[in-house]
Chains A and B, each alone.
Chain A
Amino acid sequence: MSYPDELPMWAALLVSFFLLLGAGLSLLGTVGFLRFKSFYERLHAPTLGTSWGTGGILTASMIFFTVTEGRPVFHEILIGIFVTVTTPVTLMLLARAALHRDRSENDPTVPSASILTKPGKTVIGD
């Protein structure tokens, strides 16, 4: 296979740009894991990897295979849809487990379950 040789310059630049963007954002997501202090803050870090981290790599893949195979290749969109739709499931599972644990330990920084029965908007800082 001599795929890279067949790739024109503009396509190579675009593919590298999206590949680096996706990989860079996924890496930043893992750095966030290390840097953020509380569990709830760390919930936000991996969403970088599941949004444009995945999105960048998938876009690079679509451009690469569309150019080298000479036909539109877009089934990567399916991967994107499935990742986006399934992320909330694990994220909510983790978040609600953490909330349950913190509430049963009477952690004062975490809002109690009764906050949801109060009318209006409430803001609680960490």
Chain B
Amino acid sequence: MRTILPYPLLFVSLVLMWLSLNRFSLGHLVLGSVIALLASAAMASLRPDKPQLKKIGSFARLLALVFYDIILSNLSVASQILNDRKGRRKPGFMTIPLEMTNPTGLAILAVLLTSTPGTAWLEYNSTESTLLIHILDLKNEEEWLELIKNRYERMLMEVFE
């Protein structure tokens, strides 16, 4: 089983992607499965580190939370663009010490921080596990630290470590 299907999750997602791009039919299911098998084999020959999704439930909870946060930060950045007056907004850089070292977890944190308007991931130092981000409105720095460390990082560590 391991040798035929090295990445079951990748295989299932590729078949689902094939079926949603085409109409669902038995023919497309077979064709999609063959393509997904070939793609999984190609992926296996690259031998990436296999990410371990330990708790699917908390991952889904994290995605729901981020979805909500992205809506809120879209609204706040949109209003900041509309009433952009000098002195009302305090943009700035901020470093955050991270405890998470898992590469998949860090990659997902990078996606979360960049797709949430208002925060941008700039640089990560892997020897010191420190992250440099830029924040559009740094008025409440404790709140940002709380959000990234206690909400996102803790939940990601639960899922991947």
Instruction: Indicate whether A124 sits within 8 Å of B125 (C-beta atoms), given known contacts A28-B81, A111-B132.
Output: no
A51 touches B134 (CB 8 A): no
Q: Does B59 contact A (CB under 8 A)?
A: no
* Contacting residue for B96 out of A32, A71, A121, CB 8 A: A121
Residues of B within 8 Å of A75, CB to CB, are 17, 20-21
A44 touches B121 (CB 8 A): no
| Nearest A-chain residue to B141, judged by Cβ | A123
CB-CB contacts of B127-160 with A at 8 A, as 1s and 0s? 1101010101010010001000000000000000
Q: Name A98-126 residues within 8 Å CB distance of B.
A: 99, 110-111, 113, 115-126
Residues of A within 8 Å of B138, CB to CB, are 123, 125
Interface size class of A (residues with CB under 8 A): 35 or more
Residues of B within 8 Å of A91, CB to CB, are 114, 120-121
User: In the bound complex, what is the Cα–Cα distance between A96 and B110 (angstroms)?
Assistant: 14
CB-CB contacts of A42-64 with B at 8 A, as 1s and 0s? 01110110111000000000000
Q: Does B71 contact A (CB under 8 A)?
A: yes
Q: Does A41 contact B (CB under 8 A)?
A: yes
| Nearest A-chain residue to B17, judged by Cβ | A78
Q: Does A38 contact B (CB under 8 A)?
A: yes
Q: Does B92 contact A (CB under 8 A)?
A: yes
User: In the bound complex, what is the Cα–Cα distance between A51 and B23 (angstroms)?
Assistant: 27
Residues of B within 8 Å of A17, CB to CB, are none
Seen from chain A, the residues whose Cβ lies within 8 Å of a Cβ on chain B are: 25, 28-29, 31-32, 35-36, 38, 40-41, 43-45, 47-48, 50-52, 71, 74-75, 77-78, 84-85, 87-88, 91-92, 95-96, 99, 110-111, 113, 115-126
8 new A-B contacts at CB < 8 Å, known A96-B122, A117-B125: A29-B81, A32-B77, A36-B84, A48-B77, A87-B115, A95-B121, A95-B134, A119-B128
Seen from chain B, the residues whose Cβ lies within 8 Å of a Cβ on chain A are: 17, 20-21, 23, 70-71, 74, 77-78, 81-82, 84, 90-97, 110-111, 113-123, 125, 127-128, 130, 132, 134, 136, 138, 141, 145
The 6 tightest CB contacts between A and B, nearest first, are A116-B125, A88-B114, A32-B81, A47-B117, A75-B20, A125-B92
26 A–B pairs (Cβ distance < 8 Å), ordered by A: A29-B81, A40-B91, A40-B93, A41-B134, A44-B77, A44-B118, A44-B134, A47-B114, A47-B115, A48-B117, A50-B115, A77-B20, A91-B114, A92-B121, A95-B122, A95-B134, A96-B123, A99-B123, A111-B95, A111-B132, A116-B123, A116-B132, A119-B128, A121-B96, A124-B93, A125-B138
